[in-house]
Structures are given as structure tokens and as C-alpha cells.
Structure 1
Amino acid sequence: MTTDPRRQVPRTDTLLADPRLAGAGERLGRVLVKRAVQRVQQRIRAGEVAPGAAVDAVLADLPPVAGSLRPVLNATGVVVHTNLGRAPLSAAAVEAVVAASGTTDVELDLRTGRRGPRGEAAIAALLEAVPAAEAALVVNNCAAALALVATALGQGRELVLARGELVEIGDGFRIPELLESTGARLREVGATNRVALADYRDALGPGTGAVLKVHPSNFVVRGFIRAVEVGELAAALQGTGVPLVADVGSGLLRPHPVLPDEPDLQTTLAAGADLALASGDKLLGGPQAGLVLGRAELVQRLRRHPLYRAFRVDKTTLAALEATLRGPLPPVQQMLAADVADLRERARALAGRLVAGGVAADAVDADSRVGGGGAPEHPLPGAAVSLPPEFAEPLRLGATPVVGYVEDGRTLLNLRSVPPGADDALADAVLEVARRWT
């Protein structure tokens, strides 16, 4: 006679009462632990796990945190990778988020015991970094900043912008549709490839709410082209009362030596823009945020608009932004500044370690990219580790997911987007794939 395997499966309540699983329940929540118990019970029925090993199997099945997002090693060479969460936060920003995650004085003046200004320290840090700005505010992304500006300045009025700047910003979202959804009317000027200062002048009228400049960050037009720079527009609009708004997109605070063609907030405002908009989670290297900087009167007008309440950021975003601005160089800035010789040396060391472990690996030169819609024609030279093409999928599915890319029949792990401190984890992930899949 054989014993019914169902009789050998430990009861759910018995497993949940085990001290180790009870402790996991306090950390992760009873629902997650119970689901892991049920999965292990099914594996016991299938003969994959011994009944006496149930608790260990449940512990191995539990996620490290209650959320479903998993840390990933970005070996794509794309510094600001939208699918991987854009900018990784600095250690200082992470510590600030943890400190702000509990009860904080985000809107309380501890000296008076009364309500205080929200995000004052983060705004002060932003203004210190961009001295050409009189005032600033922070919303939840750059699209929100643009929508707030379009609503406050252009609702029921005209926004003047060049046809060549009617861009799509990703996932099918288009600037003209976003602007029109606010109730603004678009007055397109120029042709796709050429616009002149006279085109802007001729479009101005009593119904003009603002002139808008949008940096076409994710594409470049070459050949027979002409554009009007911020300084020219600002001079032409002087005395008209029409504000000039520049969406610079990428979040550079000041000019960057590695990206000479990328616009920045300080230069844009110094050239005469009344407002400049940017993202906080791209080249600035901070949390997802939309930054609005410029003339105090216009910023205050935006702050008092009812829509601002819907777009304002939470305490953890303010904390991360302030720490990014005041703290050490964030990872994105470190990756942009990485020395090519250092990247090659890391690639050689990593490839040698993998070869010693029986993996067919080689160090190769490989270009990387800024990503996040920035500098599309500006590759960054660097180095990568080359592996057989069949490594790409199991690396993504490993205990520590590694996202590389397949090119010319090989899997490449580009090291510009991998922090130097993660090289050991990267090597361990590759060696684990070699043990399990080859």
C-alpha cells in the first residue's frame, strides 16, 4: 500500500505558526507568507519538496520585500533607462527617503508649532544650484510641469510654438495633444525643419498666452534647418508681456562637458527664458519630478493655481531631491564622468574572472547611451564584457536579474551603467547562470 501524498502535506495553519514564518509575516505581511505556503504545499504534492523541508522552502520562496519591484543590474549601457526606473538614487538620497518615510515636519514649523512652507529646503537647494532662477516649484514629472504651465498661462488662449517642436515624448504621448488637453489653443509657426524669428513675431496677438520652446531631445533634424534660440526669442518678446517658456527636458542644471549640445536650466534662464522646465529623474540624477524655475511672479501664479495641488510631490520626493542636490555626486553623474580606461580595466578583470570560472567571456569596446530621450546622437565610448548569446535570457531571470543586450550574436554587459561596487554581484550572476544553464 502507498501513502496518499496529500496526507504528508503540512497544514497551512501549522506552517504559519512556525516561529520563522511568523517572523516573516510580521515583516512582509500574512498574505504574502500564506501565498508562499500554498505554493510550497503544491510542490510537496508534486513530489518536488520533502514535507520536512516545507518551512525552508517557504522562506526561500518569499520575496526580500513586500513590494513586487526587484532590484536589477543595468548592464545595457543606457545611463538613464526608462524601463529600469531612469536615474538610480544616490545613497544619500535613499537615506533621506528612509528618514522622510515616517512622521516628518514636511509642513510644520517646529519653532512656532504652526503650518510651515512645504518643501522649502528642497526649493532652496534648487535655487542655489540654478542662481539664474528667482523662484521654483516641484511637481510629479516634466509632463505635469508642462500641463500646469499650459493651463495657467494658455487655457482659452494661444500657445505659440514651432512645428518642428511638436514632439512625441514616448509611449505614444505627444506634446501637442497634452497641451490641447489643457484647453489651450496651439499656434504652430514655421515649417518642420525651419522657423524664423519673424514667424514668432507674426503669431503674437491679444490672445497669446505664452511662447513655448520644446527641446526635441529624442531626435535630431539635419540638413536644411533653422531654429530660433532662446536668447533671440527673449529679446524679441521684451516689452510684449508674453512669457517665454522653455522645456529643456533632460534636467541638466548647468552645462556638462560630456554633453555640449544638451540644454541646461542655468543657461536657458540666463538667456532670458521666463520659465524653464525639466525632469528631476534624468540627467539631474534624482527622483521622478518635474522642475519649474524662473520669474518669481510666474512661479507664484503656478503655485496658486488649483491644478498645482493635483501635481505636487510627496515628502519622500522632496527629501530625495534635496539630498541629490546637496549630497555627493549621484550615480548618473558618476556614470557620465566614468573614465574609458577605467571601464576597460574593469571589463578585463571581470572577463578574466569569468574565464577562470569556465565561461567564454571577453572584454570588448562598446558605446553606451545617455538614454531618457537625451543626446540621441552622442554615444559615450566605453567597455563591455562579451558572453555567448544564450546568456541574455537566463541572466534576466536569475536571482539577481541582469539586463544586458544582444548584439552581433553575443550578449554584451556594458559596464558604464553598472556601478563599480556591483562588479562582484555581476560576476556571481554570470557564474550562477553558467552553473545552472550550461
Structure 2
Amino acid sequence: MDDPRRDIPRTDRLLALPAVRAAAASLSARVVRDLVRAVQDRARRGEIAPSAVESEVLAAVAGRSRSSLRPVLNATGIVVHTNLGRAPLSAAARAALADAAGYVDVELDLATGARSRRGAAARAALLAACPAAEDVLVVNNGAAALVLAATALSAGAELVVGRGELIEIGAGFRLPDLLTSTGAHLREVGTTNRTHLADYTAAIGPGTGCVLKIHPSNFRITGFTAEATLGELSGPCREAGIPLLADLGSGLLAPDPVLPDEPDLDSALRAGADLVIASGDKLLGGPQAGIIAGRADLVARLARHPLARAVRADKLTLAALEATVTAGRPPVTAAIHADPAALRERAERLATALDAAVVAHDGRVGGGGGPGVPLPGWAVALPEAAAAPLRTGDPAVLSRVHDGRCLVDLRCIPPAEDDRVLAAVRTALARIARPEAP
């Protein structure tokens, strides 16, 4: 009896197919060969017929991109969505990334031919946007910035910090663990809910390396509370010659009236902080980066530390960060400041096409920024079962599931993508109406 596996097309014939050869121009020969062999193995196991191998190979190479990361349309209403890579880059930042992909003058003065300061243009852009800063250093993320600062200022010495600010954030990341890993000796002051200026001044002494003030991001204690401000701490720190370090987290460069309680770099420096730390991929709306700004002598001290080499930002980050700061409102800012009336109009157009309902839906800043601050808006309410096919469709659309409904919020989706959202929702609804459909 003939073995049907003998009918499986040969590897060389499959690799010679025009579409497969074209795919090999963007993917490596090894990746294409592995895709072919995986389909052949499915046929050998009896999962597909030998006659289907060629079409399955063509589908596999057509669906294989250069990266396994899939673009997602964010319909959750959460602007800085950590699971989706936080801030979406502006068109200018994306173009800057492409320009920086080749050889660039990241550490070269083309006029003189001499080596120059790394990322000078990004530094200049940040200094122009934050006038209170004397100098700026960019590293690869916010945690790296805090580690570098704590190591350079307090390794082997005491780091004074309020007990109520030593928090745990996403994925079990605990600030006390990070700080102690630097070799600093934590000197916790105050209590969980109340820490006074006197607690800090009593702790400052000859063994103090720095005083750290941490913005608690998405953690809040309400009721019987007290904390010492940067303005109050600056005097005792300067009298003792101790640097005052502020970890602000979200990366606002200047005050934002929509987020009145969110600290910004410029105001924190003017209030008396010697150094401030922030993330580039949150409210700043740029690439993942850690920004350290403040006194020139302290920034230089951090830049000279051996750890600075291990956490420095690459050319792509520097290029995207510069473009984010200089090229107008990034998508994060636009989404936070979106007009609720315009959002409702877009939602109603989508709902009318789908015969669905529009419901009030507050967006959120996300990423630890603006905790508890509602961003008034609207969403299209769909059956809860639509959420899964939306996530797995093409394009992938991530919605919010709440109170038994799938809510599609257009706040974080550019208006030019509304038609794609409509098509994706129609496909998802058709799939749940016909569960057997692929």
C-alpha cells in the first residue's frame, strides 16, 4: 500500500516557488527553510493533506514578518499601556529611527572630525524644553537612571527615603530591592502614611549619601497623611551638602493642567531638587529611556561612573527622543487631551455602522501616570465574546472587557484607522455568529 507521505512536495521544489524565494529576500534562508519544514512535518503527522502543503507554505511565508511583534490597535482607552509597549511614537520619531538605523554622527563632530559628546542633539533638545536643568544625561530606562544615581551618590553610604515611598510596582518590581542592590544603605524615615521634614533632618548626617524623594505613581494613601515637599527638603539638604534626588517617574517636562497632581521636571528642579529622574516612554511620549536632569556637577559625576557605560542609551533611542521633544505633540499627549465631543462623534459613526450602542467611558493615563484621573470619553459596546476574535484578528484590536461587555474606545486610535477598526469588528462579530468559522 502506498504511503501518502510520499506525495509531500520536496523541499527544493517548495523553496523554488516564486513567493518563497521572494520571502527569502527579507527573511533569512534558515527561517524560510524552517517554515517549509514545519509545514512538511504537519503533513507527515497527518494534520494536513500532502496536496495542501504548497498552499500552507505560501500562507506561512506570507504571514511571517521580520519581527514576531504584532502591531495592535489600542481600543482600551488606556493611553500609556505597559503591555502594549507604553508610548506609541510620533511620525517624526519613527522617521528619526529610520534615519538613525545606518551610520550616524552619534559621537562625532563632522566639522572637526573629532569625537564629540554622545547624543548632543537629544541633550540640547531636553535642555531647551526644561530650562531649569543645567545638564541632562540619557540612559536606557527609568530604573537604570535610579540605579545609576543611587550607586554614584550613595554606594556605601546612607540613602535617606520616606518609608511610605518604598513601593512595589508592576510585575513584582520593588524599589527597596533595587536601591539596596546599588550598595546604598537605606535609611527609612517616617511612617507609611505620615513623614515630616523633621524625620529627614534627624536622619541627615555625615554618613548620608543623598536624600531621595519618590513620586509613588499609581499608589495613593488618603486620609490622615503628611509628606515633606521638595521645597521643604531642599534647604536642609543644601546646608548639609547632600544631594536631593527626585524620582518623578512619568516624564512630564512642564505642568499639564489635565494632570494637576503629576510632577514635572522643570517644576521639581525649581522647587529645589538637585537631580530629577523620569522615563521617556510615559507622559513624555517617546522611546524607552531614563532621563536624568539637574545640576551640571552631579550629572557629570553620574556620567563618569563606570556603570554609566552599561546603561547608556543607543543611537536609536537618542534619535527618537530628540524628535519626540522637538516635533510637536506626540500621540500620548494628543490622546490625553482628546476632545470628548470628537470622541463621541467617532464612536457614534462606528456604532451606527454596527447597529451598536455608545456608552460613556472614562479613559486612563496608564503607566503609573495620573492615578485616579478620569479622561472623559465614549466607547462602542459590543458583546463580550467579541473581545477574543478582536485580539486575534488582523489587525489585532485590544478592547476593554467590563461588566459583561466588550468596549471599543477610540481615544488611542488615530482617526485614519477608524475604517480598519470597523472592518475588524465586523469580522469579529461574524466569527462569534459562526463559531466554526476560522
After TM superposition, the structure 1 = structure 2 runs for residues 6-405 of structure 1, keeping only pairs within 5 Å, are: 6-42=5-41, 46=46, 48=48, 51=51, 54-62=53-61, 63=63, 65-355=65-355, 361-405=356-400
How far did 1:281 drift? Answer: 0.2
- Give deviations 1:156-196, integer Å, cap 9, x for gaps: 10111111111112211111111111100011111111111
Partner in structure 1 of residue 404 of structure 2: 409
AA of the residue aligned to 2:102: G
- Give deviations 1:78-108, integer Å, cap 9, x for gaps: 1001111000111111111111111111112
- Is 1:21–1:55's contact at 8 Å kept on the other side of the alignment? no
Q: Evaluate the alpha carbon distance shift between residue 47 and residue 311 of structure 1 in structure 2; reply closer, same or farther with a 3 A threshold.
A: closer
How far did 1:44 drift? Answer: 5.3
2:105 and 2:54 map into 1 onto residues whose CA distance is 43
How far did 1:421 drift? Answer: 1.9
Question: Please, which moves more after superposition, 236-245 or 279-288?
Answer: 236-245
- Give deviations 1:227-285, integer Å, cap 9, x for gaps: 11111111232332111000010001110111011000010001110000000000000
Partner in structure 2 of residue 422 of structure 1: 417
- Give deviations 1:82-138, integer Å, cap 9, x for gaps: 111000111111111111111111112212222221100000000001000000001
AA of the residue aligned to 1:128: A
How far did 1:315 drift? Answer: 0.5
Unaligned runs of 5+ in 1: 356-360
How far did 1:423 drift? Answer: 1.2
Secondary structure of the corresponding residue to residue 411 of structure 1: strand
Off by >6 Å, runs of 4+ in structure 1: none
- Give deviations 1:282-309, integer Å, cap 9, x for gaps: 0000000000000000000000000000
AA of the residue aligned to 2:67: G
How far did 1:56 drift? Answer: 4.7
- Give deviations 1:361-417, integer Å, cap 9, x for gaps: 221111111110112211111111111011111111112211112111111112212
Q: Evaluate the alpha carbon distance shift between residue 25 and residue 312 of structure 1 in structure 2; reply closer, same or farther with a 3 A threshold.
A: same
Percent identity over the alignment is 59
Secondary structure of the corresponding residue to residue 332 of structure 2: helix
2:119 and 2:305 map into 1 onto residues whose CA distance is 17
2:58 and 2:315 map into 1 onto residues whose CA distance is 34
1:332 and 1:175 map into 2 onto residues whose CA distance is 26
Secondary structure of the corresponding residue to residue 429 of structure 1: helix
- Give deviations 1:406-436, integer Å, cap 9, x for gaps: 1111111122122222211111111112233
Secondary structure of the corresponding residue to residue 26 of structure 2: helix
1:379 and 1:49 map into 2 onto residues whose CA distance is 54
AA of the residue aligned to 2:229: E
AA of the residue aligned to 1:343: L
AA of the residue aligned to 2:7: Q
AA of the residue aligned to 1:393: A
Secondary structure of the corresponding residue to residue 79 of structure 1: coil
Secondary structure of the corresponding residue to residue 359 of structure 2: strand
1:410 and 1:165 map into 2 onto residues whose CA distance is 37
- Is 2:397–2:424's contact at 8 Å kept on the other side of the alignment? yes
AA of the residue aligned to 1:390: A
Secondary structure of the corresponding residue to residue 111 of structure 2: coil
1:4 and 1:402 map into 2 onto residues whose CA distance is 44
How far did 1:8 drift? Answer: 2.7
- Is 2:4–2:50's contact at 8 Å kept on the other side of the alignment? no
- Give deviations 1:324-355, integer Å, cap 9, x for gaps: 00113111011001000011111100111223
Partner in structure 1 of residue 436 of structure 2: none
- Is 2:157–2:207's contact at 8 Å kept on the other side of the alignment? yes
How far did 1:30 drift? Answer: 1.7
Unaligned runs of 5+ in 2: 434-438
Is the aligned partner of 1:435 residue 2:430? yes
1:85 and 1:384 map into 2 onto residues whose CA distance is 22
2:359 and 2:40 map into 1 onto residues whose CA distance is 47
- Is 1:32–1:66's contact at 8 Å kept on the other side of the alignment? no
Question: Please, which moves more after superposition, 228-237 or 148-157?
Answer: 228-237
2:169 and 2:130 map into 1 onto residues whose CA distance is 25
Partner in structure 2 of residue 358 of structure 1: none
- Give deviations 1:9-62, integer Å, cap 9, x for gaps: 2111111122321121111112222233234335556475673x6555433223
1:169 and 1:124 map into 2 onto residues whose CA distance is 32
Aligned length: 431
- Is 1:391–1:433's contact at 8 Å kept on the other side of the alignment? yes
Secondary structure of the corresponding residue to residue 186 of structure 2: strand
Q: Evaluate the alpha carbon distance shift between residue 114 and residue 55 of structure 1 in structure 2; reply closer, same or farther with a 3 A threshold.
A: farther
1:382 and 1:102 map into 2 onto residues whose CA distance is 42
1:437 and 1:58 map into 2 onto residues whose CA distance is 28
Query: TM-score if structure 1 supplies the norm length?
Result: 0.95
AA of the residue aligned to 1:98: A
Question: Please, which moves more after superposition, 3-12 or 404-413?
Answer: 3-12
Q: Evaluate the alpha carbon distance shift between residue 434 and residue 44 of structure 1 in structure 2; reply closer, same or farther with a 3 A threshold.
A: farther
2:152 and 2:262 map into 1 onto residues whose CA distance is 27
How far did 1:4 drift? Answer: 4.2
